[in-house]
Amino acid sequence: MALKLTARQSQILDLIRQAIAANGRPPTRAEIADALGFRSANAAEDHLRALARKGMIRLSAGTSRGIQLVEGHEDAAPIVGPAAHGAASAPRLVQAADHLLLPIVGRVAAGHPILAAEHVEREIPVGAGLFSQAPDYLLRVRGASMRDAGILDGDLLAVRRSPEARNGQIVVARLGDDVTVKRLDRQGGRLRLLPENPDFQPILVGPEDDFALEGIAVGLIRTGALH
């Protein structure tokens, strides 16, 4: 009978799987601490030792990336389906009931749907409990315009598709041929897309502009520390 994991242990196990799937190697203790907001790598080490005691991973002394998924557990949430052929649609449940298989969307070509097959880099299993709302895809962030909101270049923004959003929400919007991540600002009849970096200017959306909301941000996966 499998030992029950805490929510935090499940998050760390998901992070290890994601790092291995994306980069071919596990994260360091410091990278885990940074990704999950721990104050020190020691907190990550405590959770890793608990996962090792429960038989989910093996730890190797003397190496910063000495984390190995235990045989029989490393495939608990495999990438399945048509990912190898570049196809993607809505997220699908994978073998583990608490995981979603989400497409990672890279650079979006002008005038093409966000989830067009040519935009999808790969699909990865993500713990459904990581987000308050289930996302439909992960958008790879480009640039530093949302830096002060903690959204950095290369991060994976979890997005739920929606044609509507509340004032102040961080959204994925299409303006003409460009897809951008900004904070939605509605004041009376005025609509603006606000950056979270003083080096960038707000974008004023006029009634004549080709504008559409593609979705709202429901979470973030920090990837910069895992390279």
CATH of the domain at 41: 1.10.10.10
Quick one: 217 and 175 in the same domain?
yes
Q: Show the CA angle centred on residue 173, arms to residues 79 and 208, nearest 5°.
A: 150
Residue of 39, 48, 80 whose CA lies nearest to 67: 48
- How buried is 208 (Cβ within 10 angstroms: 0-12 exposed, 13-18 middle, 19+ buried)? exposed
Backbone phi and psi for residue 29, each to the nearest 5 degrees, phi listed first: -60, -40
With a cut of 50, which residues of the chain have pLDDT below it?
A: 1, 74-97, 225-227
Quick one: 180 and 91 in the same domain?
yes
Catalytic residue among 54, 89, 145, 162: 145
Quick one: 96 and 184 in the same domain?
yes
**Catalytic (active site) residue 4:** no
Task: Name the residue range of residue 227's domain.
Answer: 80-227
Provide the pLDDT for residue 167. Answer: 93
Provide the pLDDT for residue 71. Answer: 59
Domain-embedded: residue 29:
yes
Provide the pLDDT for residue 171. Answer: 95
**Catalytic (active site) residue 145:** yes
Provide the pLDDT for residue 84. Answer: 27
Quick one: 139 and 178 in the same domain?
yes
- Only one residue has tokens 């429901």, namely 218
Provide the pLDDT for residue 1. Answer: 40
Provide the pLDDT for residue 148. Answer: 92
Catalytic residue among 4, 60, 89, 182: 182
Quick one: 164 and 209 in the same domain?
yes
Provide the pLDDT for residue 98. Answer: 60
Provide the pLDDT for residue 9. Answer: 84
Quick one: 97 and 204 in the same domain?
yes
